[in-house]
Structure 1
Amino acid sequence: MLALEKNEFLAGINERKEYLEAMGFVSVNVYPYEEVPLNENYTMVKTRGRMAIKKQDGQVVALVHDATYVLFLKEDRPKMVFALSHEDPMKMMQDQGLT
């Protein structure tokens, strides 16, 4: 399992935060729709998310996206091992007619 140092993790969050803020990010809700056990300690969860984006004209729109997460389940709470999303949010906005 790949482990990041705390400073590497925080740097990644800051980069992602700046990117999302530039898009007009307001909030996100993630809904699991399928869980696939991989073994006794890991499970894969497929999700559908709705990201609220504020456009330049002030209108808030919902950007729908899918992501898959692998979770480690041996301890008290699930821990995310990694997340996979195949789409660029800017392209998704164009494809969904939100730009």
Structure 2
Amino acid sequence: MTMPVQLELHLQRFRCPNRRYLRQTFVEPLPTLALPHAHRTTRLARTQQRFALALGGEAGVWTLNHLGITTSSDTLLRLIRAFEPAVAEAVTHGGIDDWAYHKRYGD
């Protein structure tokens, strides 16, 4: 059984005194909770992306639906395409693996 949840946030609203800009009011950002104009929290998006990367579209939807997280395969495929893996650091010093060396050549 799914149950809709609605978050009610009380945020500060700021006014810009400069009339040249189209936007006159601004709300404090919440980068740890949700990105601007997002329809889901960053935590939910990260969870959906992990399932999408592990299981793919249809299997990910099936598993997430059983966990009570309603989504579509298109959303999961979009999250897979948006995934940016961490960049590995360049190796500056290389060494011989002692275990492999001793296994091949003996002691």
TM range (shorter): under 0.3
Q: Give the TM-score of the pair, scaled to structure 1.
A: 0.25
Higher strand share: 1
By relative contact order (CA 8 Å, sep 6+), the higher-ranking structure is 1
- TM-score scaled to structure 2, two decimals? 0.24
